[in-house]
Amino acid sequence: MSGILDVPKPRINCSMLSQHINKPVCFVGRVEKVHPTGKTFTVSDGEGKTATVELNEPLQEELSGVVEVIGMVSNKGAIMATTYNMLREDKGIPFDLELYNEALKVIHDFPQHYPFEVAASG
């Protein structure tokens, strides 16, 4: 069976979490709060809604700014992270989450042009 990193993953925001229960996803958001245990954190999307991200291991670094999380959506709507990447905001240019959110809407409104369920070739 392919690992979560090897399969296509739709990019989603908070309002799409419930449609992707038990499926792999890619979520980009701004870190709002890290739990003192370091095993969970909350992120906000381009609409200002928040999602919870759960980790298998506690964080080993300070987490802030915009992150891309790859994981599975749990039954309770949390993202069970397999991996995450902090997106650096170089040269004082902030990542525009609102614009990113608009791009997500276009991608999901025109699935024929942005297919995610692509058969793996090989």
| Structure-token pair, residue 49 | 């809604």
Q: Which residues contact residue 82 at a Cβ distance below 8 angstroms, ignoring those fewer than 6 apart?
A: 4, 5, 24, 70, 71, 72
Q: For the chain, give the percent of residues with pLDDT over 70.
A: 91
Q: What is the reported pTM? A: 0.87
Confidence tier at 117 by pLDDT (50, 70, 90): low
Q: Which residues contact residue 63 at a Cβ distance below 8 angstroms, ignoring those fewer than 6 apart?
A: 31, 34, 41, 84, 86
Tens of pLDDT, residue by residue over 3-25, are: 888 888 999 999 999 999 999 99
- Measured distance CA(73)–CA(17) in Å, rounded: 7
Assign 110 to helix, strand or coil: coil
